[in-house]
Amino acid sequence: MNINKNPIHIIMIFILLISVVLFGVKYSLSESAILGCELIISAFVLLVSNQRKSISEIIITYYYLIISVVQPIICSIDSEILLYGHTSRANYFSPEVLLDSSLRIKYYICTTIYYIAFMLILFLVKKITSKSFMNSEKCREKDTRISEGIKMQYIFLTALIIQIFLWIFEKRYNILIPGVLPTLAHSGLYVYAIRIVTLFIWTVMIEKIIISEYPVYYKCILMFIATIIISVSRILNGSRGEMIIFIFNIIIISYYFYMDKIVLSKKTVKIIGIGVLFTFLIFGVADGIRSNEFSLMHLTQYAAARFVGYTDGMAILSYYNNGGEHLNIANFFMSSIGIDSAMPISTYYTVNMMNHEGGTHAWATPGFGTGYIYLGMAGVVTIAVITAIVMYLLEKSIINYAKSLANSWFCVILVYLYIEVIMNFVLEGTVELLFGYLMVTVVTTVLLMAVNLIKRRVSN
């Protein structure tokens, strides 16, 4: 058993241990003990592991630390920080609910079961599929590069022009405008079309960067520029999350293609610092366009509350603690294929638990919360099992395709789907939306294969 002596992990655990002690001073000893158990489980995964951990393990561990340890502690200090944008409903959801000891204990148990189930299934799947999952040699048989022979500046310029046209179209018909109803019939089809076009452009841009001969640091900068370009229409429409999703994409891509080539130095820190600053500024622009208010405090509050976890999880538990009814599992399958009579999980959550008239997609339940809404504690385990299997299989496929630049475009497609799994299964719990994103990736893959086939025939 190897001990990962990462100083960041050790410092984090030391800070959290102190927090648990301080937490116990303000609240009951039993509640502090449960929080301590959560911390011990997290510390074990952080410290006792191989140096090369899977992305799935890293994401779930840090997500768990934030929502099950950090957010409850923040809330005990000042609950208003995590209440931004949430509608209070005195009978089962109010600031006092977040400090309810019995609900806190139930919340800790719920998140711990989710975490343990995820890690256990991930461990088992790794053992079962470690040697037989995929023959990586097959991933390198054919060179299927899409962007080869096309200058990068032409690809970037074309992508920018297309994004501007998409923005004009979206603005004209209120497509994908936050908080505004579309004025075009069958708007859902146009949404899927826009996502397919966006993914197509994104894949070509990133593949061109990956197969280029530029230095690794320069490639990372180009990926960030590509992220800004692909997010132009979303930013101008006031969408605050689209760019973050593509930032996650380039982080995962860089991890598997360049992590062993990037050295932690002053140059690396500067590049990361500049990237974070620009991301924050652009995120602020989108926030200002949407809210008509360029406020650092507004942006900070939104970012803190929008990270789905403690507040939303406690709202769900409070709702069921007061006699709320669980959703029928048939609703999941009907909403997945877009049947109007079925209520999306985000709408069900925001209407019934957050008292938002008409519902909204802007606020969502965490993944384990979605499981609880459908099947109670059994649903929490079920969602953890499914998430672990899907995330690992996708991650294994990404690793195999990342071994060859000849298939880098397909690796980019898989990373996009992987990020959407994280967003819809883990962070926001909008599991029924994944069917749509799966269709987007399938259609985009077919289109890219068709383009590659036509390109080869023309060249021959």
pLDDT digits (tens, 9 = 90+) for 215-256: 888 888 899 889 888 888 877 777 767 778 888 888 888 888
pLDDT digits (tens, 9 = 90+) for 362-406: 667 888 999 999 989 999 999 999 999 999 989 888 888 887 777
Could you tell me the pLDDT band of residue 427, with boundaries at 50, 70 and 90?
confident
pLDDT attached to residue 263: 60
pLDDT digits (tens, 9 = 90+) for 145-159: 787 778 888 999 999
pLDDT attached to residue 299: 64
User: For the chain, what percentages of helix, strand and coil (3-state, to nearest 5) are there?
Assistant: 75, 0, 25
pLDDT attached to residue 104: 84
Residue pair 250/220 in contact by the 8 Å Cβ criterion = yes
pLDDT digits (tens, 9 = 90+) for 117-140: 898 888 888 878 766 554 544 545
DSSP 238-302: T-SSHHHHHHHHHHHHHHHHHTTT---SHHHHHHHHHHHHHHHHHHHHHHHHHHS---HHHHHHH
Q: How far apart are CA 343 and CA 345, in angstroms?
A: 6
Q: Is the pLDDT at 413 greater than 90, yes or no?
A: yes
Low-confidence winner among 144-153, 245-254, 306-315, 337-346 (lowest mean pLDDT): 337-346
Return all residues near 384 (Cβ < 8 A) that are at least 6 apart.
113, 114, 115, 117, 118, 121, 368, 371
Q: What does each C-alpha distance from 198 to 11, 72, 444 come to in angstroms?
A: 41, 38, 9
State whether the Cα torsion 111-114-117-122 is positive or negative: negative
pLDDT attached to residue 312: 87
Q: In Å, how far from its chain's centre is CA 182?
A: 25
> 232-262: string of b/e by CB count within 10 Å (b at 16+)?
bbbbbbbbbebbbbbbbbbebbbbbbbeeeb
Q: How far apart are CA 348 and CA 357, in angstroms?
A: 11
- In the numeric block, which tokens belong to residue 63? 């997500």
pLDDT digits (tens, 9 = 90+) for 27-37: 666 666 666 66
Residue among 103, 112, 108, 72 at smallest CA distance from 321:
103
What are φ and ψ of residue 115, in 5° steps? -65, -50
Rounded mean pLDDT, 58-70 = 82
Q: How far apart are CA 360 and CA 449, in angstroms?
A: 36
Farthest CA pair distance, the chain = 75
pLDDT attached to residue 4: 47
State whether the Cα torsion 211-212-215-219 is positive or negative: negative
Q: How far apart are CA 420 and CA 336, in angstroms?
A: 15
Burial class (CB in 10 A: 0-12, 13-18, 19+), 401: buried
Residue pair 35/72 in contact by the 8 Å Cβ criterion = yes
Rounded mean pLDDT, 297-325 = 77
Rounded mean pLDDT, 248-269 = 74
> 196-223: string of b/e by CB count within 10 Å (b at 16+)?
bbbbbbbbbbbbbbbbeeeeeeebbbbb
pLDDT attached to residue 216: 82
> 286-318: string of b/e by CB count within 10 Å (b at 16+)?
bbebbeeeeeeeebebbeebbbbbbbbbbbbbb
**Can you give the residue ranges of every domain in the chain?**
7-113
Return all residues near 411 (Cβ < 8 A) that are at least 6 apart.
253, 256, 398, 401, 402
pLDDT attached to residue 116: 85
pLDDT digits (tens, 9 = 90+) for 84-110: 656 555 456 677 787 787 888 888 888
Residue pair 146/455 in contact by the 8 Å Cβ criterion = yes
- In the numeric block, which tokens belong to residue 127? 């053992």
- Which comes out higher in pLDDT, residue 179 or 187? 187
Q: How far apart are CA 82 and CA 99, in angstroms?
A: 12
pLDDT attached to residue 44: 62
Q: Is the pLDDT at 428 greater than 50, yes or no?
A: yes
Neighbours of 349 (CB within 10 A): 27
pLDDT attached to residue 160: 92
Q: How far apart are CA 13 and CA 7, in angstroms?
A: 10
CA atoms within 13 A on the CB side of 378: 4
